[in-house]
Structure 1
Amino acid sequence: MSPEAGGAPAGGDGSIAVAAIDLGATSGRVMLGIVHPGAPARLELHEARRFPNVLGEREGHLSWDVDALWEHIRAGLVAAGELARQMDLEGISSIGIDSWAVDYALVGPDGTRIGEVIAYRDARTDGVADSVARTVPRERQFALTGIAQQPFNTLYQLAADDRLAGLPEGSHLLMVPDLVAFLLTGQRCTEITNASSTGMLEAAAPVWSPELLAAARVPERTAPDAAASGNAGGSGAAGIDPSVLAPLVAPGEQIGTVLPDLAAELGIGEVPVIAAASHDTASAVVAVPAPEDGPVAYISSGTWSLIGLELSAPITTEAAREAGFTSERGVDGTFRFLKNVAGMWLVSESIRQWEEDGAHVELDGLLAAAAAVPGGQFRIDPTDPQFLAPGRMADRVAAAAEVLSGDQEFPRTPAQLVRCILESLAQTYRDELHAACRLARQPLPERLHVVGGGSRNALLNQLTADALGIEMIAGPMEATALGNVAVQARALGAIADVPGAMRAAVRASVTLETFAPTLP
């Protein structure tokens, strides 16, 4: 059995177990990671608990049900501890957390959450980016942070957040994984890979930008006692007070230990909570199984695809901004120079339309049928904003398809349409990797690694290899959880603290598939 799916139970060889809390925008899970000693170490994953993550309307905003998530996380940690003991281990040795980016909670001085965790899809940020840009132009924002200016960036969410005007002194903003760490340990911090996604952290050094904090001019105070409270939230003239932002920590640092009463309730002991690369993409890039030599090029592939390079310094040029690239902080001082482009969203939404119309569609069969369709007939631009919203995706793709060859006016069968989507994605990956290399002044690498759920799509992998003319290395599928586990393992001393050791452990733990280009 593949180590990703859960290999042989750990024995008495010095193996340890850690818990990886991995939260996505549609579902979450608690994974048990077993770390076997060795040079390199070997990792295996076992799912302890999987649970939904559901958006809903709360207090007038589209928000996350973090209370339900917390209950699921607690149950998952109980299950992880029990699973570890079933494998003849004493229990879990540490906990790490990763999640999606940009969203946050506000926590009062007494530890009570103030309001809901409002989702990045909420409409409150409509037009806010333009408002902030009137104070700090977009070019200046990018030069300071290197972060692409998405309308849902935390900076813009805060500028639209009327709760800041009434925050009591001692309140803090905590990103989603930092909120979970606080609930586990009582310690308040901000892990830097997620902090960099906010649009407020400087690229030159991991510090908050006073210029951008001041530009997020929050609404005027409305609470009757705000003036007397020494309000930490600031006002329309003051922007965001830096005291709202919790201290920064780096991946691998210990945040704290599980609170005694909670540890007793969960049966896991007062184990350390270690800062993983809490931005889920940062964790996924940790698990890119690249060799030590040469540049690291990757696609973190799923509903969306994040394609780029791992660099030692950010790129904050105007050319990078205009091309839509971003420089997010990674582990060990690295930067993820990447662009977010369309992924399997186009296929999954098309399948949803066909099923709503009464068809029964299985993805594996659909991909096999698409592989048999002659290529080069149709093309779309998968980055076109018309494809962002859900609903009747197959119809929209067919209507937008440009005819390259043949006598049909548009893709008429599901197989033709999926072939069109995948060929278009492969061409987009080619264009964006070439753009990344050009902006980074690097040659095209010899190989491109694809990790995440999309790594299982053999047809897309082959089409991408053909489009780029370089090897595609597919796997691991569970990159986010493996990266989370690897950072914890290194912090505990189970993986050597030397360059390349975490990736060597990943390479020793998973089976990879290579797709060589077949076209001249």
Structure 2
Amino acid sequence: MTGHAERGRFEQETSMTTVLAVDLGSASGRVLAGTLTDGRLEVTDIHRFKHQARRREDGTLTWDVATMEAETINGLTKALEQFPDARAVSIDTWGVDWAPLDEDGRLVGDVIAYRDERTSRTLDAFRERIADREFFDLTGNQPATINTANQLFAYLREEPEAASRVAAALFLPDYFAYRLTGVVGWSRTIASTSGLLTPGGGGFNDEVFTRLGIPRGWFGELSADRTVVGPCTVPGLQTLTVVRGGAHDSACAVHGLPIEAGKRAYFLSCGSWSVLGAIEDEPLMSDVAFDMGITNEGRTDGGVRPLFNITGMWILQEIQRQWEREGTPTDTDELVAQARELPEAPGVFDPDGEAFASPGDMQRKIDEALDAQGVARPDSMAGYVRVIIESFARRYARGIGELTEATGKAPDQLNLVGGGARNRLLCDLTAQIAGVTVVRGPIEASTFGSLLAQLETIGALDPQDRASVIAASTSTHVHTPTRA
């Protein structure tokens, strides 16, 4: 394994305008190209693919990283056929998951998925080492079973033989960058989701490693985003250089937000998960922040994103899957249009409720939540969609109020990006209930932010010009509340 990233490769190469982005989600992936011309970034969709987590014979939930890697290389090959002048690529993924490597740089067993139940089995032992509030004070992250710290703690207990062969632990985007370059590294934005750093993400917290018994030698030093990893060594892709354009998907999304100078914005990246947060220079570490469930993660430009992780539009997707399994075809746009015509829902549910975090019979779970309030159940599919969307809008409004209390500064606008930006009813209701202007779009914010960060890394875009490029290249819609 190569120990150090190559730096400065592009210091004299400032004329390149085409870069590639690989965005890996928990069920799908995509490869896109971005070409900067005359202050405008044009994005081209190159390749999309599906993948899914798998259960081992012992029930352990794992990621199919071989498929993700093969499809990434397939997409990059297609991209170079269409854009042979492309010179850089960056990879972003969801947070917290990691890959174990041995001394020869080979995977040790499987890459375990964050939803695997092992972290729940070891939670009590984890808390005996570090209590919840102390964990927040040490790391700036909320305690959660999905955190990398919890995963590593469980791994050491449940797979001691495999753990004895581990030489390095890489976060997923760093693992795929390693597979393209042979260079090991640890990117700040993705590491900031782990529960292993000091508050604000300045470096790894050695006390956390010591208290949990995690080998510090599995991790090197952090690398800032917007730096070079190294040249791609995959045959046919050697013209590309891998850079850190923001390794965490929601950090990329924030980097691509259309925010006017002087405006204070909160952000909501709305997909299967919803990430609602503020843009700050320092982490929020107060009692109020801890009690509200605020966690602090890194930004691509070096700042901090105090945020809430909220169960997302996955609830809507899950109930539609249920209806279709029962023989009723559904169309999301049509259902949302019908829901728009309905009156205000008589009751809502808390999307953060434990019942809604797992799949299966989502309609029954909503019914039970409404029954507990003495509220009538919806009498149509559109009625359920209305309840779901209104429940999210009210949860977002509550989160905006909590962020305002924690930061002491109300937002001028909420930038809503991701797949949820397609849902105009969600944007309208959020604006009305929260009493804040909602700026909707761009939908593909993660990819857009990654491409911009790469262009900044290679010297093709001055960071001071990022806002003007975003304004020239994206389409947004404004939803204004009728009552403030």
Query: Shared fold by TM > 0.5?
Result: yes
Superimposed CA distance per residue, residues 43-67 of structure 1 (whole angstroms, 9 cap, x where no aligned partner): 1221211111211123632111111
SS across alignment from 1:198: coil
Counterpart code for 1:77: L
Counterpart code for 1:491: T
In the other structure, the counterpart of 2:105 is: 111
- Is 2:455 aligned against 1:512? no
In the other structure, the counterpart of 2:394 is: 427
TM-aligned CA deviation for residue 113 of structure 1: 1.2
Task: Please give the alpha-carbon distance, in whole angstroms, between the structure 2 residues aligned to 1:200 and 1:517.
Answer: 40
Task: Please give the alpha-carbon distance, in whole angstroms, between the structure 1 residues aligned to 2:120 and 2:227.
Answer: 36
Task: Please give the alpha-carbon distance, in whole angstroms, between the structure 2 residues aligned to 1:360 and 1:214.
Answer: 53
Question: Structure 1 residues 165, 311: CA separation in 2 closer, same or farther (over 3 Å shift)?
Answer: farther
Superimposed CA distance per residue, residues 434-456 of structure 1 (whole angstroms, 9 cap, x where no aligned partner): 101111121x2121110111011
Partner residue of 1:197 out of 189, 193, 196: 193
Question: Structure 1 residues 401, 475: CA separation in 2 closer, same or farther (over 3 Å shift)?
Answer: same
TM-aligned CA deviation for residue 215 of structure 1: 2.1
- Is 2:345 aligned against 1:351? no
TM-aligned CA deviation for residue 167 of structure 1: 5.3
- Is 2:265 aligned against 1:301? no
Partner residue of 1:254 out of 199, 224, 228: 228
TM-aligned CA deviation for residue 243 of structure 1: 1.5
What RMSD over aligned residues (CA atoms) do the two structures have, in Å?
1.9
Q: 1:96–1:274: 8 Å Cα contact kept in structure 2?
A: yes
Question: Structure 1 residues 509, 385: CA separation in 2 closer, same or farther (over 3 Å shift)?
Answer: same
TM-aligned CA deviation for residue 519 of structure 1: 4.3
SS across alignment from 1:134: helix
Task: Please give the alpha-carbon distance, in whole angstroms, between the structure 1 residues aligned to 2:482 and 2:118.
Answer: 48
In the other structure, the counterpart of 1:227 is: none
Give the total of aligned pairs: 467
Q: 1:378–1:402: 8 Å Cα contact kept in structure 2?
A: no
Q: For 1:87-126, what aligned pairs fall within 5 Å after superposition?
A: 91-126=85-120
TM-aligned CA deviation for residue 165 of structure 1: 5.9
TM-score normalised per structure 1: 0.86
TM-aligned CA deviation for residue 423 of structure 1: 1.3
Q: 1:349–1:394: 8 Å Cα contact kept in structure 2?
A: no
Superimposed CA distance per residue, residues 57-90 of structure 1 (whole angstroms, 9 cap, x where no aligned partner): 23632111111111111111100101114xxxxx
Q: 2:188–2:201: 8 Å Cα contact kept in structure 1?
A: no
Counterpart code for 1:450: L
In the other structure, the counterpart of 1:286 is: 255
In the other structure, the counterpart of 2:69 is: 70
Counterpart code for 1:108: D
- Aligned-residue identity in percent: 32
Task: Please give the alpha-carbon distance, in whole angstroms, between the structure 2 residues aligned to 1:503 and 1:132.
Answer: 43
Task: Please give the alpha-carbon distance, in whole angstroms, between the structure 2 residues aligned to 1:24 and 1:370.
Answer: 28
Work out which of the two has the higher radius of gyration on C-alpha atoms and give 1 or 2.
1
In the other structure, the counterpart of 1:380 is: 349
Q: For 1:80-479, what aligned pairs fall within 5 Å after superposition?
A: 80-85=79-84, 91-162=85-156, 163=159, 171-204=167-200, 206-216=202-212, 239-259=213-233, 262=234, 265-266=235-236, 268-401=237-370, 409-442=376-409, 444-479=410-445
Q: Which runs of 5+ in 2 are unaligned?
A: 1-14
SS across alignment from 1:394: helix
Q: 2:232–2:241: 8 Å Cα contact kept in structure 1?
A: yes
TM-aligned CA deviation for residue 30 of structure 1: 1.2
- Is 2:61 aligned against 1:33? no
Task: Please give the alpha-carbon distance, in whole angstroms, between the structure 2 residues aligned to 1:195 and 1:76.
Answer: 26
TM-aligned CA deviation for residue 170 of structure 1: 8.2
In the other structure, the counterpart of 2:447 is: 481
Counterpart code for 2:62: S
SS across alignment from 2:210: helix
SS across alignment from 1:401: helix
TM-aligned CA deviation for residue 169 of structure 1: 8.0
Task: Please give the alpha-carbon distance, in whole angstroms, between the structure 2 residues aligned to 1:403 and 1:415.
Answer: 21
TM-aligned CA deviation for residue 205 of structure 1: 5.3
Q: 1:379–1:424: 8 Å Cα contact kept in structure 2?
A: yes
In the other structure, the counterpart of 1:11 is: none
Task: Please give the alpha-carbon distance, in whole angstroms, between the structure 2 residues aligned to 1:298 and 1:170.
Answer: 38
Task: Please give the alpha-carbon distance, in whole angstroms, between the structure 2 residues aligned to 1:321 and 1:398.
Answer: 31
Task: Please give the alpha-carbon distance, in whole angstroms, between the structure 1 residues aligned to 2:369 and 2:287.
Answer: 31
SS across alignment from 1:71: helix
Of 146-155 and 393-402, the range deviating more from structure 2: 393-402
Q: 2:155–2:163: 8 Å Cα contact kept in structure 1?
A: no
Task: Please give the alpha-carbon distance, in whole angstroms, between the structure 1 residues aligned to 2:203 and 2:193.
Answer: 13
In the other structure, the counterpart of 2:9 is: none
TM-aligned CA deviation for residue 15 of structure 1: 6.3
TM-aligned CA deviation for residue 294 of structure 1: 3.1
Partner residue of 1:50 out of 28, 48, 53: 48
TM-aligned CA deviation for residue 339 of structure 1: 0.3
Q: 1:145–1:316: 8 Å Cα contact kept in structure 2?
A: no
Counterpart code for 1:67: A
Counterpart code for 2:238: G
Question: Structure 1 residues 156, 517: CA separation in 2 closer, same or farther (over 3 Å shift)?
Answer: same
Q: 1:48–1:79: 8 Å Cα contact kept in structure 2?
A: yes
Superimposed CA distance per residue, residues 204-233 of structure 1 (whole angstroms, 9 cap, x where no aligned partner): 5522111110122xxxxxxxxxxxxxxxxx
Task: Please give the alpha-carbon distance, in whole angstroms, between the structure 2 residues aligned to 1:113 and 1:159.
Answer: 19
Question: Structure 1 residues 470, 170: CA separation in 2 closer, same or farther (over 3 Å shift)?
Answer: closer
TM-aligned CA deviation for residue 138 of structure 1: 1.5
TM-aligned CA deviation for residue 404 of structure 1: 9.1
SS across alignment from 1:473: strand
Q: 2:296–2:304: 8 Å Cα contact kept in structure 1?
A: yes
TM-aligned CA deviation for residue 518 of structure 1: 2.7
Q: 1:403–1:410: 8 Å Cα contact kept in structure 2?
A: no
In the other structure, the counterpart of 1:17 is: 18
Superimposed CA distance per residue, residues 318-346 of structure 1 (whole angstroms, 9 cap, x where no aligned partner): 32122111010112221111101132122
Q: Which runs of 5+ in 1 are unaligned?
A: 1-13, 86-90, 217-238
Q: 1:376–1:404: 8 Å Cα contact kept in structure 2?
A: no
TM-score normalised per structure 2: 0.92
Question: Structure 1 residues 167, 369: CA separation in 2 closer, same or farther (over 3 Å shift)?
Answer: closer
Counterpart code for 1:296: A
TM-aligned CA deviation for residue 247 of structure 1: 2.7
